Amino acid sequence: MQQTNTTTYIFLAILLLLIVIICFMIYQLMQTRKAKDDAEKSFYALESKVNDLQLENLESKLNPHLFKNILNSIQSHAYQTYFALDKLANVLDYILYESKKKFVTAKEEIDFALNLIEINKIKISPLFELKVKTNINVEDKLYDQPLLAPLISIDLIENAFKHADLQSADAFISVVFEFKDNAFFMTVSNKISDKKMLKKERSGFGHATLEHRLRIIYKNNFKLDKFIENDVYIAHLKIDLLEYKTEMLASGR
């Protein structure tokens, strides 16, 4: 009888020890998971801060660059200054107020881009073929929602006016804006000049900035294609705003 009690006590002691060990392992596992979750949250918070700092740095360089190009255009064509200044006022309002926002609507960005094109038109002859087209589905629910990064259209427009062959008989610039299936599309094409462009110091800044901003903000929800076909340079940008918004909501941003 005493031996049976001893065996029972040993069994209970072992069982209790196993329960303690299992509870300790569960506790350690929970602590490990919590530490992992905290580490991931800290990482994402740090990543967000780094991205914000990068964007602030890019935008602080981008705006003065834009101002310089616009003012140079107006100065070189003084006879059209009144018209240009009217458009410039709209561009300045957008830069000073709207571009400070993290996001703007597609409508706001397209209106800004159209004003920017009007300013750039003073660089070219009235006979030069400049085609601007908009194909907007205003019924798309995301058209009026602030999901588009401000000033995202600058680089492609300015690049076309900078590198187009303005003297050739078949020269042209074409800019097409589209909003359909809750996605923003922008296609810019121009006949390439045969003249060799003098490479200025720090030139091409906007070109690198655009891709950098797109990667930081939209990650895999954009596509930027640039290619040359029959002496025509073509740039096509697509930003899938529906997918981007879905990811934003899923991540709680």
Contact of 181 with 231, CB cutoff 8 Å: no
H or E stretch at 20: helix 2-76
DSSP string, 84-122: HHHHHHHHHHIIIIITTSS-B-HHHHHHHHHHHHHHHGG
A 10 A CB-CB count for 222 gives 22
Q: Residue 196: what pLDDT? A: 45
The structural domains of the chain, with segments of one domain joined by +, span 40-251
Give the count of beta carbons closer than 10 Å to the beta carbon of residue 112. 23
pTM: 0.68
Among the residue ranges 5-19, 157-171, 172-186, 232-246, the one predicted with the least confidence is 5-19
Question: In the predicted model, is pLDDT for residue 26 greater than 90?
Answer: no
**Furthest-apart CA atoms within the chain: distance in Å:** 116
Q: Is the pLDDT of residue 201 over 50?
A: no
pLDDT score for 205: 41
DSSP 222: E
pLDDT tens across 31-74, in order? 767 766 655 565 455 456 556 645 555 555 555 556 666 666 65
Q: What radius of gyration, in Å, describes the C-alpha atoms of the chain? A: 29
Distance in angstroms (rounded) separating the CA atoms of residues 151 and 95: 8
Q: Are strands 222-229 and 183-191 parallel, antiparallel or unpaired?
A: unpaired
pLDDT digits (tens, 9 = 90+) for 77-125: 555 556 666 777 787 788 777 777 889 999 999 999 999 898 888 777 7
Please say if the pLDDT value at position 189 is more than 70.
yes
Query: Which range among 22-26, 50-54, 168-172 has the greatest average pLDDT?
Result: 168-172
Detail the DSSP E strand segments found in the chain.
129-136, 172-180, 183-191, 222-229, 232-240
Which DSSP state fits 80? G
Domain range 40-251, CATH class: alpha beta
199 SS3 class: coil
Write out pLDDT tens, residues 203-245. 444 456 788 889 999 999 999 999 998 889 999 999 999 999 9
Collapsing DSSP to helix, strand or coil, 164 comes out as strand
